[in-house]
Structure formats: C-alpha cells, structure tokens
C-alpha cells in the first residue's frame, strides 16, 4: 500500500495565530448560506466574519477548547471536560451581538436549538472547521 505524505500537518494554535485563523475562516464561510443570512452585507461580510471568528477564537475556544491550524485551515474542539467552560461570557456575547446587529436574537435562538439536541454523554465536540478555498 502506498502512503500519501501529509505536508500540511495541523499544529496547536496559539493567540498569535488569531489573525491568520480569522482570515482563513472568513474566506471559508464567506458564501456559506447560514453565515450569508446572519451577515447579509456582501461588501463587508468577509471583514465582519473575520471579526466574528476572531472573537470566537480569542474569547472562547482558545481559552476553553482545543484549537488546531494549518497554513489555511482551522478546527476548534471542545473536550468532554470543557463543555461547561466553553459557554460565552457576557463580554463575548456583547461583542457577538454588536457584530450580528438585528439578527443577534435569531443567532441566539439557533445556537440554543442546536444545544437542545446535543448528546448528553461526555464527548468531544467539533465546534468549527473550515479551510480557505
């Protein structure tokens, strides 16, 4: 059997990686239907998404998750032990609300609906994964 070499091995992400991770994820989700609906302004969507992903990364997943990155991709995980800590604090919610504007309540409703269907047993949760196209 021939093995394919992996030249872009994921690494543990750090705070210094926030700008590149945020840009890669903003490009990855630029035309995502749900993100397009939450952030409808086409001309500013990539910039707003970069701020959104930077907020999530630096304020939530970097502190309470396991984050991996490559040169053009990122994944945010929450360990079974980290679920209770991974809930956004008031300042993070305020930042996200400012970014989402009049769609913030709809975003909150979507997150709460998804949480109601999460497994109850301990598990690793893949919160986000994306790659710059």
Domain boundaries, the chain: 17-131
Instruction: Give the DSSP letter string of 44-77.
Output: THHHHHHHHHHHHIIIIIHHHSEEEE-SSEEEEE
Give the pLDDT confidence of 80-118 residue by residue, as tens digits. Answer: 988 887 788 889 899 999 999 999 999 999 988 988 998
Give the pLDDT confidence of 35-60 residue by residue, as tens digits. Answer: 999 999 999 999 999 999 999 999 99
φ, ψ (nearest 5 deg) of residue 84: -70, -35
CATH class of 17-131: alpha beta
Residue 76 has pLDDT above 80, yes or no: yes
- Retrieve residue 9's tokens: 């091995």
Residues 6+ apart with CB under 8 A from 63: 85
Residue 67 has pLDDT above 80, yes or no: yes
Q: What's residue 18's pLDDT?
A: 96
> What's the rounded Cα separation, in Å, for the pair 69 and 72?
7
Residue 8 has pLDDT above 80, yes or no: no
Q: Which of 48, 56, 28, 55 is nearest to 100 (CA)?
A: 48
- Retrieve residue 132's tokens: 């710059």
Q: What's residue 35's pLDDT?
A: 94
Cα end-to-end span (Å), the chain? 30
Residue 29 has pLDDT above 90, yes or no: yes
Q: What's residue 4's pLDDT?
A: 60
């Amino acid at each position: 059997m021939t093995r394919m070499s992996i030249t872009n091995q994921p690494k543990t992400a750090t705070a210094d990686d926030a700008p590149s991770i945020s840009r890669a994820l903003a490009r990855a989700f630029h035309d995502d239907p749900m993100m397009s609906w939450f952030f409808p302004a086409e001309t500013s969507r990539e910039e707003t998404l970069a701020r959104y992903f930077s907020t999530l990364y630096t304020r939530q997943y970097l502190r309470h998750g396991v984050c991996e990155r490559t040169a053009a991709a990122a994944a945010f995980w929450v360990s079974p032990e980290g679920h209770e800590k991974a809930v956004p604090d008031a300042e993070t919610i305020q930042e996200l609300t400012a970014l989402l504007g009049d769609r913030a309540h709809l975003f909150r409703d979507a997150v709460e609906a998804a949480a109601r269907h999460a497994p109850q047993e301990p598990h690793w949760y893949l919160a986000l994964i994306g790659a710059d196209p």
